[in-house]
Chains A and B, each alone.
Chain A
Amino acid sequence: MKKEIRRMLDGNGAATEALKLARVQVISAYPITPQSPIAEKLSELVVSHKLEARYIRVESEHTALSCAIGAQLTGVRAATATSSVGLALMHEILGVASGCRVPIVMPVVNRALVSPWSLWCDHQDAMAERDSGWLQFYTENVQEVMDFILIAYNIAEHTEILTPAMVCLDGFFLSHSTQPVMTPDQETVDAFLPPYRSKNLFLDPKDPMFINNLTSPDEFSEMRFQQKVAFERALDIIPEVQNHFAGIFGRQYGLLEAHECEDAEVVLVTMGSMAGTAKYTANMMRKAGHKVGVIKISVFRPFPVAQLAGLLKGKKVVGVIDRSAGLGAQGGPLWLEVKAALPDNDTRVFDYVAGLGGRDITEKTIETIFTGLLQKVNKKDANPDAPGVCWIDTHPDAMSVREVIVND
């Protein structure tokens, strides 16, 4: 029988609690705003024996992930968490975890990358790692942070997947926002998440193997191909695990979530905490008679192409909010995926870059986007097919902000 208690937790608290419930045995974390409370709280749990684990107070994120990989290869769940430039510093090692099929689950508290310095949320840190071979989950609220981490373990460690996973939570909007969270008890989680056992690769003098040596062109592509197959299988296995989770805990999740999409004239594709605002705004606009809908992408890697295409079938106009700039590309990373998911029919997909470096994505932002999209449907837009990315929330005088004066 499931036993859960309702607790007030912020996103960092929920992430910490989920790692504890997963019984991680080695922790190596390096503090960075807004992830620091995770690194701190885990050390506190260890010192007070509320969590039986070794805490390695590492000197960098590069080491944090390296330690986690080393530890997990001996046959224990190892944990780390990071954000922003910390994730960027891990970049080299992310590929080691995924290539060696070490299924570490890592909370990533999304924060902008330098430069300029920003402490606040956007998705560029995680987007820069979208091809690192890690599964990527994005959460809307604190309950999802807790639940997605537990679900992610089950998926990452699945014999057919064996792939590490990032569970992304928006910096401050989730990491520091306190919300009621149904927190499962240890026994129920233990039943959902059996003790860890290394599969495939491990380090043990009783059964020696050498891991990660130089590999020839004869085998390299094949080993990448194996990873690709794992990502494809994940599209089936993730929903299975989510259903299993729902059977125990009563909360149903999917690869993505559709809100009021069926009869919608325009649909807005979102990711992360902005999804809540988007759904709320859609409800308001529906009350005013506008047929608008929202899709929330919960799993970005693997990208749920077929599911998204199914939901958007027949839609004339779709909007996408990218919380990262996608500089020099035809659109932001989420837009590129959405666009590529839709066959060459007459669905027009518009990209809106918003919420960078901690800027709030407000109801007003969403309403402006919906209004614009509706105008495109009704062809009231002066230039409905204008290509390019719309930076929806920049100041009109953007080019004069911190303008560089050339003294010559």
Chain B
Amino acid sequence: MYDIKNTAKGLVAHGVSTCAGCGLELIIRHILDVLGENTVIVIPPGCAALFSGYGKETALRIPGFQGNLENTAAIAAGIRAGFEVQGRHDITVLAFAGDGATVDIGIQALSGMFERGERVLYVCYDNEAYMNTGIQGSGSTPFMAATTTTPGGKPSRRKNMLEIAAAHGIPYAASASAAYIDDLKKKVEKAKNTDGPSYLHIHTPCPTGWGFDPALSVSLARAAVQTGAWVLYEIEKGKLKLNSKTTKLKPVSDYLKPQGRFKHLSDKDIQDIQQEIDEYIQVLASRSENQAVI
């Protein structure tokens, strides 16, 4: 039983230990607002573990378990099975993991959970590196971004985890962004009501790791979408639906320039990145069943 010292507005304490301007902090509040109290959360090590708390204190008002870096999906699947055999189908089981815990070390357990069709809502908050251990590169770190293990800029492309998730044929997979909360909330609601695995991959700026002014978090996340560096879309039963514009995009330099991790980029590098974005946007637009709304 929790001994609640100060009642917060939502299910997350007001005072938490994330850095100022943390994108992850913004989205966890909104996600839990949608999901409500009847939720169990699984969090691996990483910045999200700041919400697991320390010692006898936690930042969450729902039950939770901090697993290992690789097994977020596995623990969640076990919890789901335990509730199912007791007829407690109404509980939402939320796996809430960083990009490292998802696209790298945890991809096997996640793939297994998807393949078996377990009803788990899996959220990957993507701050595009291993932030909690000191900004090391991950499989989701973008091309050319500097981290403490890619000091010269990451020489390879990032994994497209949303497509990997969707390739399992799961009923619902979507990308989202810390700058588009209404869109995010709709997607969380949809995922909650999905009868089977659902996957949300959410772009969450990290001022500490990316090197930008914490006051600019939301505008930077927005710039990512407006330049096409991050695209909002859903894949529902195999069908792709775009939620953000693919035309009249701003130049990607608008997104790259304010960030310390890209400050070493030459004009040629930026041109290359621009070209890749243009090509990828074309691919998505041609697969989409609709015109974008945002």
Contact = CB atoms under 8 A, between A and B. Distances in A.
Interface of A: 25-26, 28, 52-54, 56-60, 62-63, 66-76, 78, 92-93, 96, 203-205, 207-216, 218-219
Contacts of B109: 59-60, 62-63, 66
A63 B63 contact: no
A66 B81 contact: no
B38 interface: yes
Interface centre among B38, B63, B83 (most CB of A within 10 A): B63
Contact of B78 (A67, A208, A214, A216): A67
Contacts of B112: 58-60, 63
Contacts of A76: 82, 85-86
Nearest to B11: A208
B79 A70 contact: yes
B85 A73 contact: no
A56 B71 contact: no
B55 interface: yes
Sort A-B residue pairs by CB-CB distance and give the 10 closest, nearest first. Answer: A70-B78, A74-B82, A67-B78, A59-B112, A66-B74, A71-B82, A213-B52, A66-B71, A63-B74, A210-B58
Interface string B24-61: 00000000000001111010000001001111001011
Contacts of A57: 116
Nearest to A24: B85
A78 B78 CA distance: 9
B66 to A, nearest CB: 5
B68 interface: yes
A163 B133 CA distance: 31
Nearest to A28: B78
Contacts of A63: 71, 73-74, 77, 108-109, 112
B67 interface: yes
B65 interface: yes
B38 to A, nearest CB: 5
Contacts, number: 157
A208 B2 contact: yes
Given A58-B74, A63-B109, A210-B53, A70 B82 contact: yes
Nearest to B88: A74
B76 to A, nearest CB: 7
A96 B67 contact: yes
Interface residues of B, number: 47
Interface of B: 1-2, 37-40, 42, 49, 52-55, 58, 60-68, 70-71, 73-86, 88, 91, 108-109, 111-112, 115-116, 118
A72 B83 CA distance: 10
Contacts of B66: 210-214
Given A25-B85, A59-B111, A71 B78 contact: yes
Contacts of A28: 78, 81
Nearest to A205: B38
B58 A26 contact: no
Contacts of B70: 62, 92
19 contacts: A26-B82, A52-B85, A54-B85, A59-B111, A62-B108, A63-B112, A69-B75, A70-B76, A73-B78, A74-B86, A96-B68, A203-B65, A205-B40, A210-B66, A211-B63, A211-B65, A212-B65, A213-B58, A214-B52
A66 to B, nearest CB: 4
